[in-house]
Amino acid sequence: MKVDLAITNGQVFNTFTKKFEKKNVFIVDDKFYYMSADERENWQASEVVDAKNKFLVPGLMDIHMHIESSMTSPAIFSEAVLTHGVTTVVADAHEIANVFGMEGLEAFFSQPSVMDIFYAIPSSVPSTTPDLETTGGFIGVDEVKQLLRHPKVIALGEAMNFNGIVNEPDSLIRQILHAVQSERPFMPLEGHVPRVSGLELSKFLYAGITADHTHQSPESIYEKIVNGMFLEFQKKSITPENIRVIVKNDFYEYIAIITDDVMADDLLEGHLDANVRLAISCGMPAEQAIYCTTYTPARRMGFQDRGAIVPGFKADFLLLNDVGSFEIGSVYKDGKLVYKQGNDINYPAVKPEFPEHFYQSLHCRALTSEDLRFKVNASEKALVNVIQISDVGTFTEHVQREVTIADGFLDWENSGLALIVVMERYGKTGNIAYGFVDKALYEKGAVATTWAHDHHNLMVMGTSSEDIIAAQKQLLEIKGGYVVTQVGKVHAICPLPVGGIISDAPIQELGAQLKEVRQAMRRLGYRNSNEIMSFSTLSLPVSPAIKITDKGMMNVRSQMMIPLIEGEQF
């Protein structure tokens, strides 16, 4: 029989024994046709590739991620991520949905890509409620029902509203969950379940949510898995102590390795493959790490045609030079070579297109010095509420600090705290909210962005009025993105003109700009395992414990607003 491609002399990963076997692999059209250990068989092949004893593994599959976190378009993202061995993703595009609603989703759905991009319905647009944050788009029950009919939609994206799930049976998120369970009862329902245990965890599971991707601990891993929850491990959860729990309890069937968010500068260095290497270095056997990035994610999402090298499955595979280091020699998609080690990342043949108004999405005024002056009634000191950031991850704590009063105004510029301002940017309300942040900036400067999880209003944080005003002004001029100022001058800039969250520039250019932003933040004293993500999630009102939206600071669990200054109203 004639086949299109024969891969000979390869060490082929058998998903079901989790072992490598010396075999020849034959491909017809875009599928695996036959695997044989008999070297005497004579097949006619249009193309023959001698694997030279390299290791064949299925194409990697990332089932919980957000393309917008890489700040690029689906078409550009596809070209970049294929170089890291990822051939299928399930994207939750709730960032573009928060900015443009259904129109934003359709703009993503319609973009061509070499890799297979499936989608999870954004279940939390907004992440809480319109009373707590202003967004450009809205996804309700009617929109969810419409999306359920789209051929690229295969899951419900992460349900995030803690109160809505745990305490409010008639909340929008509960209505969405019910609609999906009624119309697509076998659809996977993804969750956002940070620091949730006991009865509250049971309530998430009872509502139908069966997966979590948030920051895990050894205790949370055991509790969630034994209660039936599938866990998806992003970078910050891949630690030696967490991997020991998986290995000790043989929990491989109940987990997948994912990325969630990978910034453009990090994407140039690695993607899901980097997390595979990290898992191996933390003690997970390489064969199990491969299993948990191919077969378990495929099974979780209900795929019947990928995740293993067997007859009838899509011919998506990698040739590894070495298993332990997971060094990728080449990548094949649908039986076609799409990347060879040493090649550059391709730019799509056709530049990604978006509607013209996607490039004109900022509708808020420039800040003035008067916006940043706070007159108070106290005579000497005022007690202020503060968001305290951590060195690792995106969790925060609510603390209080005393700030001196000078001439009747809060002397915040000499307080050691940074002022954070969130401005409604969609032209709906003109809201401006204020907060203070501790352990953020230690030098005179400011950071501004329109990439503010998940509502993506304009957010600027600084230690001086001069820098805050300069950063916000520059951000408006570039139509969104990131800006860092120091002593009134712009030190780093990363334009994201598509909705204030996406660039259509080559990923190499975008990555270099974002790296400059990261370095400039460090020069201002920002210290975190991911400075940009830490800053951008100060506005995410579903991530513990205190965050800020255009409506003000709020306690994430109770969803109660927190005043800037105790006893004062602004």
210-244 tens-digit pLDDT: 999 999 999 999 999 999 999 999 999 999 999 99
Model confidence at 548, in pLDDT bands (50, 70, 90)? Answer: very high
The pLDDT value recorded for residue 567 is 81
Query: For residue 206, is pLDDT > 80?
Result: yes
How many angstroms separate the CA atoms of 306 and 297, rounded? Answer: 10
8-48 tens-digit pLDDT: 999 999 999 999 999 999 999 999 999 998 876 778 999 99
What integer best gives the mean pLDDT of the chain?
96
Query: For residue 460, is pLDDT > 90?
Result: yes
Model confidence at 393, in pLDDT bands (50, 70, 90)? Answer: confident
Model confidence at 568, in pLDDT bands (50, 70, 90)? Answer: confident
Sign of the Cα pseudo-torsion (139, 140, 145, 146, in order): negative
The pLDDT value recorded for residue 218 is 98
Model confidence at 522, in pLDDT bands (50, 70, 90)? Answer: very high
The pLDDT value recorded for residue 42 is 73
Model confidence at 200, in pLDDT bands (50, 70, 90)? Answer: very high
Q: Name the token pair of 68.
A: 């917008």
Is the model more confident about 253 or about 529? 253
138-176 tens-digit pLDDT: 999 999 999 999 999 999 999 988 999 999 999 999 999
Model confidence at 262, in pLDDT bands (50, 70, 90)? Answer: very high
pTM across the whole model = 0.94
Query: For residue 65, is pLDDT > 90?
Result: yes
Q: Name the token pair of 530.
A: 């991911």
Q: What are the backbone angles phi and psi of residue 555, rounded to the nearest 5°? A: -80, 120
330-383 tens-digit pLDDT: 999 999 999 999 999 999 988 999 999 999 999 999 999 999 999 998 889 999
Length of the chain: 570
Query: For residue 249, is pLDDT > 70?
Result: yes
Least trusted range by pLDDT, from 42-46, 49-53, 177-181: 42-46
Angle, helices 507-523/74-82, rounded to nearest 10 degrees = 90
CATH tag for 59-307 (out of 3.40.1190.20, 3.40.50.450, 3.20.20.140, 3.65.10.10)? 3.20.20.140
Q: In the Cβ-directed half-sphere of 86, how many Cα atoms lie within 13 Å?
A: 32
Percent of the chain with pLDDT over 90: 95
How many angstroms separate the CA atoms of 59 and 438, rounded? Answer: 43
The pLDDT value recorded for residue 39 is 72
User: Nearest Cα to 294, choosing from 24, 23, 30, 286?
Assistant: 286
473-516 tens-digit pLDDT: 999 999 999 999 999 999 999 999 999 999 999 999 999 999 99
The mean per-residue pLDDT over the stretch 425-430 comes to: 97
Percent of the chain with pLDDT over 70: 100
Question: What's the Cα-to-Cα distance from 378 to each of 21, 374, 383, 402, 409, rounded to whole Å?
Answer: 76, 12, 10, 12, 9
Sequence spans of domains, the chain: 59-307, 358-364+379-562
Q: In the Cβ-directed half-sphere of 124, how many Cα atoms lie within 13 Å?
A: 24
> At 331, which helix (H) or strand (E)?
strand 327-333
How many angstroms separate the CA atoms of 123 and 191, rounded? Answer: 10
Cβ-Cβ contacts under 8 Å for 115 (sequence gap 6 or more) = 78, 81, 82, 86, 87, 88, 89, 333
Helix, strand, coil shares of the chain, percent, nearest 5, are 30, 30, 40
Determine the Cα angle at 103 with ends 137 and 232, to 5°. Answer: 70
The mean per-residue pLDDT over the stretch 98-127 comes to: 97
Least trusted range by pLDDT, from 43-47, 75-79, 230-234, 268-272: 43-47
The pLDDT value recorded for residue 570 is 63
